[in-house]
Amino acid sequence: MTEILRIEGLQKRFGGLVATDNVSLDVHTGEIHALIGPNGAGKSTLINQLCGELRQDAGMIHLAGRDISHMAAPDRVDLGLGRTFQMTCLLEDFTVRENVGLAVQARDGGNFRVFDRIMGRASVWEETDHLLQGSLLSERPDDIVADLSHGEKKQLELIMALATQPRLLLLDEPMAGLGHVESQQMIETLKALRGELSILLVEHDMDAVFALADRISVLVYGQIIMTGTADQVRGDPRVREAYLGTEDA
Ligand SMILES: Nc1ncnc2c1ncn2[C@@H]1O[C@H](COP(=O)(O)OP(=O)(O)OP(=O)(O)O)[C@@H](O)[C@H]1O
């Protein structure tokens, strides 16, 4: 079993608060690994440390065997660490295809802003169309992003993240704000990615977590209290206790 990601003893303090406390975790190559935990457990802090947006106070992060603990965020992306573009990054007045084209170009070191440069580059459009084919937006390449529903924008974020060709994709609450039908669509989209790349999924929607995750790690007050299969997590009294009294269980 090879690991795409190995985290050892990761720690982040905000003043007196220990947001991630000696976190150790590994993600196997090809697996969907969910990270769950109550509000304020430290999930976003951990994701931000993995991306390089927050510097850890202690601990190590290895991606595909490379120590990336002190690497700048863009270098981590070049090594295959992907994250969904947040909705605020979508260019609302441009088409779906143009947004994906810009993400493809950005990966190749192009400028995300200068757009006329990509108009003539056939390879960018070929890859863009390939990414869109088979996606839920395949019939809507020329739609203006502002006209998409919330769920469609989440799908677009995901396609744009895939344009960076990640080996490990970090997904921070992909189901947030989605209705039932859109959630089911996102679950199917993510299921189809299983095996193609590795995914670390932070998600509050437990139906989605149980439907998708090969393994689940549970973070409580900055500490991983267990890692196991869906059945192991469901049956663990420590997990029930952690969620007791919250709406998330
Ligand atoms: N920049 C910051 N400065 C100070 N405290 C912070 C900062 N970011 C997060 N925290 C605190 O660290 C703890 C962990 O927060 P974090 O956002 O990582 O939790 P989370 O598990 O992602 O929560 P949620 O599920 O609600 O998004 C919380 O107590 C939060 O208030």
pTM: 0.91
Range of the domain at 118: 87-165
Ligand 1 mutation target, pool 44, 172, 218, most atoms within 8 A of CB? 44
Q: Is 43 in the pocket of ligand 1 (CB under 6 A)?
A: yes
Q: Count structural domains, the chain.
A: 2
Q: Domain with 18 in it: what CATH number?
A: 3.40.50.300
27, pLDDT greater than 80: yes
Nearest CA to ligand 1 atom 11: 19
The span from the first CA to the last CA of the chain, in angstroms, equals 31
Atom of ligand 1 nearest to the CA of 47: 18
- Domain-ending residue, one of 165, 189, 214: 165
Atom of ligand 1 nearest to the CA of 48: 18
pLDDT: is 198 or 242 the higher one? 198
What mean pLDDT value characterizes the chain?
Answer: 90
Q: Are residues 248 and 127 in the same domain?
A: no
* 150-157 mean pLDDT: 93
Q: With bands split at pLDDT 50, 70 and 90, how would you rate the model's confidence at 84?
A: confident
Helices (H), the chain: 43-51, 73-78, 96-107, 116-119, 122-132, 150-162, 180-193, 206-212, 230-234, 237-243
Q: Are residues 173 and 68 in the same domain?
A: yes
Q: Are residues 92 and 129 in the same domain?
A: yes
Task: Starting at the earlier edge strand, list the strands of the sheet with 81-83.
Answer: 81-83, 168-172, 198-202, 32-36, 215-220, 223-228
Task: Starting at the earlier edge strand, list the strands of the sheet with 58-63.
Answer: 17-28, 3-14, 58-63, 66-67
Q: Are residues 1 and 74 in the same domain?
A: yes
Q: Are residues 98 and 217 in the same domain?
A: no
pLDDT of res. 119 = 54
Q: Decide the pairing of beta strands 3-14 and 81-83.
A: unpaired
- Domain-ending residue, one of 120, 146, 165: 165
Q: Is 9 in the pocket of ligand 1 (CB under 6 A)?
A: no
What per-residue string of b and e applies to 81-118 under the rule 16 or more CB within 10 Å gives b? bbbbbeeeebeeeebbbbbbbbbbbbbeebeeeeeeeb
pLDDT of res. 106 = 80
Q: Are residues 19 and 57 in the same domain?
A: yes
Task: Determine the residue type at 63.
Answer: L
Q: Are residues 23 and 131 in the same domain?
A: no
Q: Are residues 171 and 76 in the same domain?
A: yes
116, pLDDT greater than 60: no
pLDDT of res. 1 = 61
Q: Are residues 103 and 62 in the same domain?
A: no
120, pLDDT greater than 80: no
With H, G, I as helix, E, B as strand and everything else as coil, classify residue 116: helix
Q: With bands split at pLDDT 50, 70 and 90, how would you rate the model's confidence at 88?
A: low
Q: Are residues 73 and 99 in the same domain?
A: no
* Torsion 39-42-43-45 (CA) sign: positive
pLDDT digits (tens, 9 = 90+) for 123-151: 889 999 999 998 999 999 999 999 999 99
Q: Are residues 157 and 114 in the same domain?
A: yes
ipTM more than 0.95?
yes
Q: Are residues 212 and 198 in the same domain?
A: yes
C-alpha span between 190 and 136 (Å, rounded): 12
pLDDT of res. 247 = 46
- Domain-ending residue, one of 165, 193, 214: 165
Q: Which of 118, 127, 110 is nearest to 94 (CA)?
A: 118
Ligand 1 mutation target, pool 10, 23, 43, 225, most atoms within 8 A of CB? 43
- Ligand 1 centroid to residue 124 C-alpha, Å: 38
C-alpha span between 5 and 64 (Å, rounded): 6
- Ligand 1 centroid to residue 221 C-alpha, Å: 10
